[in-house]
Structure 1
């Protein structure tokens, strides 16, 4: 069954890849990851995470992990042994997301087997198949780290659901938790909750959870420490950043893991009260480390962004929007993103109330409930919410199916089984919303997928590549593609580590013609790329009707901008900045 599930998902992904017009995913992060991998293969140091062609002079220190760059670079190098550079790159990017299907499916299968044996595992496999065949993150070309994170979380849950006290599963969970922190901080709240779950189960059970608690704590601490040493240059050991694995998360995670292991060593055979006191002391120690080393990481790392960036960039990033914003801009997403997770939480609460495998459902509730809260603040969390919902819903559907078999003449049991199975599938909600949108004759549908702008296509950017190497001012959504297809430096790409470059580009577009000329010269810009259909460009033109972008949108070109020949009706207009 596991092999069949992997085969079905992989086949769907291959078909999607063969139909694609580009071998790189449509998301900016996919193009940016490729740029980072190319630089690494070209000789940029392992510890050197500067993107020298992004932002103002000197570049931008990126927050991504080499742990994701390495396997992609390895595949490109492997295919490069018998393919030219372009095809070897395309082959590697085709294969990498498909390879990640394997740990996701294995993790789901193992976790569902742990909680309900064969029938629950089969239902879980059906749900993950239906989830991943429509998930673009596992289609060829999608090389950002979100698919890696899902694979790590799948194996983390598999370890957490291992039978009570079994240390091997908790070693796996600790290693996956540590790697998840190293790969991207989006999963940090989930990792923290997994640690709390293990700690509370140990405090409740005592000696039966001794080995498991020690195993999780030590493996988490060791993995985070190893990842920190392997990916952080010594000169940055003392730097605290809250968007990647730095001293902050290293100190917090290792302190938490070691404190749990020490508590288990000291108090596992003492009374429950003593264990709770030991756990409280451990929590106080971790809190003290957090407040002394990284108090700033308790806040939103994007809270300090310039108000102009928040208005013209962050508030327009779909995955960073709140559920309130999504209800206003794309209400159909609410069902797709939140329904299965909300139903899973309701199922957990009901079964806890009825004392039906209470501890197991408390574990799932502890994982799903905070993820729902995070998703309501930023809808990017719904990816993890939908994924986590698979486990309690698979068990619930399995139990209803067993009941239906026991009561073959009771139509209600069959309907309950089929109904819960149906509403546990996020894509069902997406299809329903698409049907409603079609009847209502609106474009509000999550089934449309990502539609990249014509301005980011290779053909649109090709005229830029023929120009002498310089600095390009262009909307941030074009930045990663310009870096991919040319050797220029760009002022802006949609990354919060480059606020100065993004602000420079925004101010150029907002400024009047003469003021914009001075800003272009100040920032050393030699080329300007104008995309009228870009959403941010439109916002700038509306905000500053007398600004440069508004003028270019009306066809008014200042004398200091020299048009570069582009195909007629081209979406991207390119100008040289004259001295």
Structure 2
């Protein structure tokens, strides 16, 4: 059966058409939303109170704080250089001031009546909790759009359970991934707005543009959202005219505004593929404006004319991409030095493929992939049965590519699990309705309860933990990742008393050293600093005598050695006669002078004597 205009109405629950239900949206749904926000916020507060540090455990959280501190210390809005990272001159970071600004604002407000460190702690405690609000509202609105009150309630249960187990929304987590999830939640809410209303699609365009500005990880989802809107317009024509115009124009305007607000004029012509530069600016604005102009000129014409207009728009976007940013069609990390790929990138957990994860932590498969895979299967079945086909085509278009991306890099599973909430909430709701209408049929109740259970990623995590316990292994996602003792404040504090200089240390220590000290570091785990990362690796790999020359060449004044660091172990395996192996044996070359530290320190610090 072909798609038709009524299919778009099928996306709107029948209950939404009654004045009574429209009034109910302003009362009962908001009570449920508020309760969901309070539950997640309470869980986050408890997690924050139990934490031993007010900054999240991820390197990016510490690095974001360093960046915000520099901004508050009068580093320019457009100046994204991290002058204390890398070789002399620093490293140009690829992050967005759009995330720095609200965090800096909170620190400034708390700083009116608190000392610097408590004001940071208060701001970092509050910021992730504030982001719970748009995520929950976005999920609630989207689920209401597609299935009414019951679907919304089920969606709220799923998002509450998801957020409680998501460390990104716990105090101290100030990296941009939680911001991205909030924007995607609002994007989906806009895309599911019934009957192609302009307001929802304008919201979708704005949040899509902001998502690109905050971090390019969401660019594939933004592109898919644009394609979905364009295809629905090409098929339906005039009923989708306002929605297509609103999405296209708001996307183009938001990306253009974000580009001008974040990019210094001297870098307008630079094309980088890891942030919003000329490349993504040109592609996104070309696509948004092409959709707007196509809808404005051909919405009332035949379907074939609209398809031709859409094809022409696609050709324009493709031409812009190939002429301005052809390098962005490939992995931006593909050009990394082979040594960096081997000793760093391949060891970054979130960048690993599903094949690598199966070998390292097979229990993650259920937690990361089960709900998304089930959602895709549900979409396929309902499309085949012509059960709200267009709606499920939209969700399939969002989930299927996200699954493919997640198989290449498991960082995508966060978005896969999130997107699965929408089709699964609707499916669970429909099964619940069926069970209510067939009270004597136990199969309907079991189907409803079973699908609800397998739609919760944390259930798969708990199951894997139980299996691991029975098997006597620690291969479970519930075990988490322990942070090295070398990055703790107490381990790094001895560096504070040393004259300002350059520290050579494993990349996982770089952000913490920047946070706790006044030194510059050769390396931290960021691909924009390949020269500094290679310099530190080569120092560890070099023989004792050769390492001295490298240390002096790169201006290193302090060397921090962490035997338990994973990268240090890899270097030792690769170079059994290298400097790190020598230090690991307790042999200290004459040009390294130990710095007094507590007994049996995890981090051993040495002054470099020229």
What range is the shorter-chain TM-score in?
Answer: over 0.9
Q: 3-state SS of the aligned residue for 1:530? A: strand
CA displacement at 1:449 relative to structure 2: 2.4
Deviation at 1:322?
A: 0.2
Give, in angstroms, the shift of residue 565 of structure 1.
1.0
Q: CA deviation at 1:439?
A: 1.1
Corresponding residue for residue 302 of structure 1: 333
Residue number in structure 1 paired with 2:42: 11
1:570 is the counterpart of 2:585: no
Structure 1 contact 40–46 (Cα < 8 Å) conserved: yes
The CA distance in 1 between the partners of 2:69 and 2:84, in whole Å, is: 13
Number of aligned residues? 579
Q: 1:464 aligns to what? A: 495
3-state SS, counterpart of residue 290 of structure 1: helix
Q: Which residue of 1 aligns with 2:277?
A: 246
Deviation at 1:442, TM superposition (A): 1.1
Of residues 477, 484, 497 in structure 1, which corresponds to 2:508? 477
User: How far does the alpha carbon of each residue in 1:206-258 deviate from its partner, in whole angstroms, 9 at most, with x for none?
Assistant: 00000000000000000000000000000000000000000000000000000
Counterpart selection for 2:210 from 175, 179, 185: 179
Question: Take 1:282 and 1:206, find their aligned partners in 2: how far apart are those partners?
Answer: 16
| Cα distance, 1:6 vs structure 2 | 0.2
Instruction: Give yes or no for contact 1:26–1:451 (8 Å, CA) kept in 2.
Output: no
- 1:329 lines up with 2:366 in the alignment: no
Distance in 1 (alpha carbons) for counterparts of 2:496 and 2:47 = 29
SS at match of 1:529: strand
In structure 2, what is the Cα distance between the partners aligned to 1:539 and 1:293? 39
Alignment of structure 1 residues 411-450 onto 2, 5 Å: 411-450=442-481
**Match of residue 188 from structure 1:** 219
CA displacement at 1:450 relative to structure 2 = 3.2
- Counterpart of 1:154 in structure 2 is 185
For 1:109, which of 130, 140, 156 is the aligned residue? 140
Give the whole-Å Cα distance in 2 for the aligned partners of 1:311 and 1:450.
21
Q: SS at the partner of 2:355?
A: helix
Equivalent residues in 2 for 1:124-273, closer than 5 Å = 124-273=155-304
Query: SS in structure 2 opposite 1:348?
Result: helix
1:352 is aligned to 383
Counterpart position of 2:577: 546
Deviations 1:479-530 (A, max 9, x none): 0000000000000000000000000000000000000000000000000000
Alignment partner of 1:30 out of 61, 64, 77? 61
Deviation of 1:105 after TM superposition, in Å, equals 0.1
In 2, the alpha carbon distance for the partners of 1:449 and 1:178 equals 33
Alignment-derived partner of residue 379 in structure 1: 410
The TM-score, its normalising length taken from structure 2, stands at 0.95
TM-superposed deviation, 1:566: 1.0
What corresponds to 1:85 in structure 2? 116
SS in 1 for 2:340: helix
Which SS does the other structure have where 1:16 is aligned?
helix
User: Which residue matches 1:451?
Assistant: 482
Where does residue 119 of structure 1 map in the other structure? 150
- For residues 498 and 364 of structure 2, the distance between their equivalents in structure 1, rounded to whole angstroms, comes to 42
Select which of 517, 520, 535 maps to 1:489: 520
- Look up the match of 2:5: none
In structure 2, the residue matched to 1:511 is: 542
Q: How far apart are the structure 2 equivalents of 1:554 and 1:423?
A: 50
Q: 1:295-346, CA deviations, whole angstroms, 9 ceiling, x for partnerless residues?
A: 0000100000000000000000000000000000010111100000000000
Contact 1:50 1:62 in 2 (8 A): yes
Report the equivalent of 1:286: 317
- Hey, what's the Cα distance between the residues in 1 that align with 2:582 and 2:196? 68
CA RMSD of aligned residues (A): 0.4
**Partners of 2:195 and 2:355 in 1: CA distance:** 40
2-side partners of 1:548 and 1:438: how far apart?
Answer: 40
Paired residue for 2:591?
560
Cα deviation code 1:369-425 (max 9, x no counterpart): 000000000000000000000000000000000000000011100000000000000
Tell me how far apart the structure 2 counterparts of residues 164 and 516 of structure 1 sit (CA, whole Å). 67
Residues 260-287 of structure 1: CA deviation (Å, up to 9, x unaligned):
0000011100111110000000000000
Separation in structure 2 between the aligned mates of residue 240 and residue 198 of structure 1, nearest angstrom:
27
Please list every run of 5 or more consecutive structure 1 residues that lacks an aligned counterpart in the other structure. Answer: none
Cα drift, residue 164 of structure 1: 1.9
DSSP 3-state at the match of 2:607: strand
- 2:340 and 2:357 map into 1 onto residues whose CA distance is 20
Aligned to 2:14: none
- Please tell me whether residue 521 in structure 1 is matched to residue 552 in structure 2: yes
Per the alignment, residue 405 of structure 1 pairs with 436
Query: Structure 2 CA distance, aligned partners of 1:566 and 1:112?
Result: 56
Task: Confirm or deny: 8 A CA contact 1:26 1:450 kept in the other structure.
Answer: no
Which deviates further from its counterpart, 561-570 or 423-432?
A: 561-570
Return the match for 1:393 from 414, 418, 424: 424
Of 48, 64, 78, 2:95 maps to 64
Query: How far apart in 2 are the matches of 1:347 and 1:160?
Result: 19
- In structure 2, what is the Cα distance between the partners aligned to 1:293 and 1:432? 49
SS at structure 2 position matched to 1:546: coil
Q: Is the Cα contact below 8 Å between 1:312 and 1:540 reproduced in 2?
A: yes
> 3-state SS of the aligned residue for 1:253?
helix
* Contact 1:27/1:450 (8 A) holds in 2: no
8 Å Cα contact 1:423/1:429 also seen in 2: yes
The alpha carbon displacement at 1:441 in A equals 1.2
Using the alignment, how far apart are the partners of 2:108 and 2:474 within structure 1? Answer: 43
1:515-574 Cα distance to aligned partner (Å, 9 max, x none): 000000000000000000000000001110000001111111111000111111110000
SS at match of 1:472: strand
Q: Secondary structure at the match of 1:48?
A: coil
Q: The residue matched to 2:315 in structure 1 has which SS?
A: helix
> What TM-score comes out, normalization by structure 1 length?
1.00
Task: Work out the CA distance in 2 between the residues paired with 1:443 and 1:531.
Answer: 24
Q: CA deviation at 1:165?
A: 2.2
CA distance in 2, matches of 1:496, 1:13: 31
